[in-house]
Amino acid sequence: MSGQEVVSAARLWLGTPYRHRASTLGAGCDCLGLLRGVWRMLYGSEPVAVPAYRADWRDPEHDGALERAAATFLRAETGPPTAGQVVLFRLGGQARARHCGILLGPERFIHAQEHLGVVEANLTTGWAKRMSGRYRFPD
């Protein structure tokens, strides 16, 4: 899947309100819901059903779940950041990834943020230092 195809699909979600565990274009999604929705746009259906999860991903049952899912369904990337890559972030001093988004290029990304919904944001130093992995959608 080309980076531009991923970016084009992700940008359709801009303005979608934030809704925990949702994944409906225009109606609501969280960060994982954004990835799920883009996946459906690119491939037609999701590879697995997503179990319930807390908004902060801090329950022991799901510790590391975001990273495991990325490693299972996406392809790990190295080298410079490029458009269309999925990026995982550690938040709140946690060791494991708790947030995700899609790179629009090396300095911007799109993600679903509480109180803002799906937005484009700068990949500031603060975000960059929390980055814990980059992946691409499979071909």
- All structural domains of the chain, each given as residue ranges with its CATH number in brackets, are 3-136 (3.90.1720.10)
Query: Are residues 101 and 122 in contact, defined by beta-carbon separation less than 8 angstroms?
Result: no
Residue 25: pLDDT band by 50, 70, 90 thresholds?
very high
Distances (CA, A) of 1 to 17, 53, 88: 26, 28, 19
Amino acid occupying residue 31: C
Q: What is the pTM of this model?
A: 0.92
Burial of 134 (0-12, 13-18, 19+ CB in 10 A): buried
pLDDT in tens, 54-105: 666 556 666 788 898 999 999 999 999 999 999 999 987 777 888 999 999 9
Residue 51: pLDDT band by 50, 70, 90 thresholds?
confident
Within 10 angstroms of residue 77's Cβ, the number of other Cβ atoms is 17
Average pLDDT along the chain: 91
Within 10 angstroms of residue 126's Cβ, the number of other Cβ atoms is 8
Rounded Cα distance between 37 and 115, Å, is: 19
